[in-house]
């Protein structure tokens, strides 16, 4: 079992907010979730490992990654 699997509900919630509010800053995401910004920053690599693909723009905004079909 992957170390992030117990956090999957939190990761799904993070990904959902990012999908609903593309370009959201990690600080704003943290505020909405009641977490520290450092917690969000620490979780971003695990979020990708959990297959919630995101990218960060030049200003630090978080965006859902959409694969071309």
- When pLDDT is cut at 50, 70 and 90, the band that residue 5 belongs to is low
Q: What is the pTM of this model?
A: 0.80
Alpha helices for the chain (secondary structure H): 8-20, 26-33, 37-49
- d(CA 34, CA 5) in angstroms, rounded, equals 21
pLDDT in tens, 7-62: 778 888 999 999 999 999 999 999 999 999 999 999 888 888 878 888 888 998 99
Greater model confidence, 11 or 6: 11
Domains and CATH numbers, the chain: 7-64 (1.10.10)
Cβ-based burial of 40 (10 A; exposed 0-12, middle 13-18, buried ≥19): buried
């Amino acid at each position: 079992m992957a170390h992030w699997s117990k956090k999957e509900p939190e990761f799904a919630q993070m990904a959902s907010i990012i999908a609903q509010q593309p370009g959201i800053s990690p600080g704003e995401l943290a505020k909405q979730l009641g977490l520290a910004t450092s917690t969000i920053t620490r979780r971003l690599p695990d979020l990708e490992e959990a297959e919630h693909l995101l990218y960060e723009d030049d200003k630090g905004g978080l965006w859902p990654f959409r694969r071309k079909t």
